[in-house]
Structure 1
Amino acid sequence: MVVLFLVNGFCYTNVVPWLPTLKSELHLSNTALGTAVAAMPLGALVTGLLASPLIARLGSGRAAVASGLLLALTLPLVAVAPGWWALASVLFVLGCADAWMDAAMNAHGLRVQHRYRRTIINTFHAVWSIAAVCGGLLGSSMAGLGIPLSAHLAVVALLLVALTLAASRGLLPGPEHAEREGRVALPGGARAPRPSMRAMFVLLALSVLLMMAGGIEDSAASWGAVYTRDELGANAFLAGLPFVACQALMTVGRLTGDRLTDRFGAVTVARSGALLTAAGLATALVFPGTAMAIAGFGLLGLGVSTLFPLTLAAAGDVPGVRSGDGVALVGWLGRIGFLGLPPLVGMVADTTSLGVGLWVIPACGVVAATLAAALRPRS
């Protein structure tokens, strides 16, 4: 199970430090780069709901393996994209595979959490963050050393295929709802129940919260390197460090998030983290500098660390809704944050500056703090 989160976290993050290089080589504006990056969440949004029938048919474990293989095999195509349309098309396919894998591996992770009878979903996402840090560091190192992007991504793809195939041997057997029987109101049959209006309202609130969490988390990947290089004049290696700092402190937050959640509750943990996110990046924007940018994106990562896993876990435990359906629906709607925020930041940046455009992110932190009440457990 852990390996699936590792594969998902390590894959695209190898590309992130190369975004400034791709921007220069393909002669893209900030808006063009933002819209190309937004093709990933667009692909997830267009096809994300297919994760629900995929999980119902194959089971969450096998669905995660199949989509993980597609994710890995598509990755090297980023290096051979000759222009904006090709790059956006490859990222679109990556977004489709990522959405299916994300829903499936989180649904399977929730099954494991139910067997443990305590919060462990943050730890799975901590593994994702560790893998993302390693991917970001590897990408930064390869970019700094001048290693060809095509060779770099080809080797990464082979490694991910091998890991995904190895992970397929350690999946939980049985039906998806087995661990939830007796905990929530859920029919025992395979047919999807019709959610109540209350359940739909909860799912909608969780979806908006996930939009904010996704947009915040994605900002370091989409704009951290570009902001540090183009606005602050950092070199190629330093330009990749805001993303690495974000993922490193996100890992710390997720490794400690399970204990904090069990002690203080999901609402308190998520709300405090959202406010820390807003304050950290806002401070870095008020006092611009390379060191401040790295620190600001690091605090952003620490603050947002538990929002994504706690929201998906809450979506998988909505009474009367199958885990796979809840996770797939909230994950699908939450992709709007990944889709809408990069172009929004890019358009504001082209009109004013990227430093001004990034103020969208602290605003998302304030909205997330307000919506954290949706994480309250329900029976």
Structure 2
Amino acid sequence: MDHVNTAPMVRSGYVTKNRIAVSLLFLVNGFIVGCWAPKIPEFAERLQLSKFQLGLMILVLGVGSLTLMPIAGAQIARYGSKLVAQIAAVCLLPALLALTLAPNVATGAISIFLFGGFMGAMDVAMNANAVAVEQSMRRSIMSSCHAFWSLGGLIGAGLGGLLIAKVGVLWHAQIATALAAIVLGVAWRMILADPPHPDEKKEKLRLPLVPLPWLIGLMALFSMVPEGAVLDWGALYLREELGASVALSGFGFAAFSLTMSVMRFGGDLVRDRLGGVLTLRICTLFAISGMLLAAFAPNAEIAILGFALCGIGISNMVPIAFSAAGNIPGLRAGIGLSVVTTMGYSGMLVAPSAIGFVAEHIGFSVVFMALPVLLVVVLLFSNLARYADGISGGGH
């Protein structure tokens, strides 16, 4: 996520291929994550999980990610991002099949741990590769890379709900795995080979004592909790509390991903015009409005519209927080980014498990009513986004 390539400029033709390749890596990762969203209700039903138990499973997914992400970071420092991205992507490919075929809670837990782990490891590696491509091109591509992640999530969630309804979960997993493998195959030879960075590991061990990166990390954390909530619980909320069909329930995260990807493709332009602070404030207001609309929705269609509005908001909140982290005065970019990315990802990966525990007792609509409180905190700290107007960062 915060790895810098010191390699010399490469010829423009190869730069184009490198950019296509890293964009396809983001697309594959987002697609597999998106495919998971409409599978969640069936996964819970097959293993006879209560909301509390499903919350524990989602916690295991988060723990898997947070376990393998720093390991991936260390391996990138030793071997470069290309090799780590390739290995993590190959290991991630069979994850949907493993989750579909898991016959009991124990195998389900192992599968979901590995799914989260390889998803997170690939995420770190592809972010590092995107930074390396940025360095070789001497221009920012991070927002568009994350737009491809959101686009993958949109295709995965939208197609997933329809395929599950039409051909069942096993065929869905097989088709999704084959599609992901084909796209990965196209990208494989074009991925930029960046040199290792052996000094970075030592650098990251020194945690900053100044409060600024931790406050920006809190903004990233509170921005990513709602994203995790929509990903992990949106389909279940639409099905259980609003009576949506299997196919329709997949469109909650799909609508969220659609608006998010569209806004991320234009994110750099908007931020250049309005500046980080105003962009963050507008985005946060959209996110609050969307989440409240989803919470108070009388039917699934209105809730999906709410998730779409929320996607408009969340789209550029997280990239702004990461950009600010990489541009804190007097602090090396890698140190600020390592704090903020870890805090932010823990919000998306671990916090949704707590939502499952709470929803067991009070229902999802009340949870979605409460999430805007976190976004209000982001609004209160929005002036810190002024640091984002210096560089580009990365993150979902």
- TM-score w.r.t. the length of structure 2 is 0.83
In the other structure, the counterpart of 1:251 is 261
SS in 2 for 1:102: helix
CA contact (8 A) 1:99 1:331 kept: no
Residue 311 of structure 1 pairs with residue 331 of structure 2 = no
Q: In the alignment, what sits opposite 2:69?
A: 48
Contact 2:288-2:372 within 8 A present in 1 as well: yes
Q: Does 1:295 align with 2:305?
A: yes
Within a 5 Å distance, the mapping from 1:318-329 to structure 2 comes to 321=332, 323=334, 327-329=337-339
- Deviations, residues 44-65 of structure 1 (Å, cap 9, x unaligned): 1233221221111121232222
- Select the residue among 164, 180, 183 that pairs with 1:143: 164
Q: Is this contact kept in 2: 1:62–1:168, CA < 8 A?
A: no
Paired residues of 1:272 and 1:369 also in contact (CA < 8 A) = no
Q: What is the identity, as a one-letter code, of the residue corresponding to 2:52?
A: T
Which residue among 268, 274, 278 is the counterpart of 2:288? Answer: 278
Residue deviations 1:213-253, cap 9 Å, x none? 32111222111111111111121122121111111111111
User: Match of 1:180?
Assistant: none
> Is 2:229 aligned against 1:219?
yes
Equivalent residue, structure 2, for 1:22: 43
Q: Match of 1:361, as an amino acid? A: L
Change (3 A) 1:190 1:223: closer
Give the corresponding residue for 1:66. 87
Distance in 2 (CA, whole Å) between partners of 1:198 and 1:322 is 11
Q: Determine if the alignment matches structure 1 residue 154 to structure 2 residue 174.
A: yes
Question: CA 1:370–1:46 in 2, change beyond 3 Å: closer, same or farther?
Answer: farther
Q: Give the CA deviation at 1:334.
A: 2.4
Q: Which residue of 2 aligns with 1:181?
A: none
- Given the alignment of the two structures, is residue 172 of structure 1 paired with residue 192 of structure 2, yes or no? yes
Q: What is the distance in 1 between the residues matched to 2:62 and 2:146?
A: 19
Q: Is the CA contact 1:125–1:254 (under 8 Å) kept in the aligned structure 2? A: yes
Once residues 212 and 192 of structure 2 are traced to their aligned partners in structure 1, the CA distance between those partners, rounded to angstroms, is 28
After superposition, give the CA deviation of every residue in 1:309-360 in whole Å (9 maximum; x if it has no partner): 333444455665464x665553333232134432322222222222112223
Which blocks of at least 5 consecutive residues in structure 1 are unaligned?
A: 178-187
Amino acid of the structure 2 residue aligned with 1:151: W
> How many percent identity over aligned positions?
29
Q: Deviations over 1:149-194 (max 9, x none)?
A: 22321332233234334323223344467xxxxxxxxxx9667447
Cα gap change, 1:226/1:157 in structure 2, threshold over 3 Å: closer, same or farther? Answer: same
- Mark the runs of 5 or more structure 2 residues left unpaired by the alignment: 1-21, 392-396
Q: Is the 8 A contact 1:34 1:222 kept in 2?
A: no
In the superposition, relative to structure 1, how do residues 312 and 62 fare at CA in structure 2: closer, same or farther (>3 Å)?
A: farther
Per the alignment, residue 89 of structure 1 pairs with 110
Q: Give runs of aligned pairs for residues 182-193 of structure 1, distance below 5 A.
A: 192-193=202-203
What SS does the corresponding residue of 1:233 show, helix, strand or coil?
coil
Secondary structure of the 2:184 match is: helix
Amino acid at match of 2:351: L
Which residue pairs with 2:101 in the alignment?
A: 80
The answer to whether the 8 Å contact 1:211/1:335 transfers is yes
Rounded to whole Å, the distance in 1 between the matches of 2:205 and 2:274 is 29
Deviations 1:118-161 (A, max 9, x none): 5431111111111111111121111211x232232133223323
The answer to whether the 8 A contact 2:23-2:145 is kept is: yes
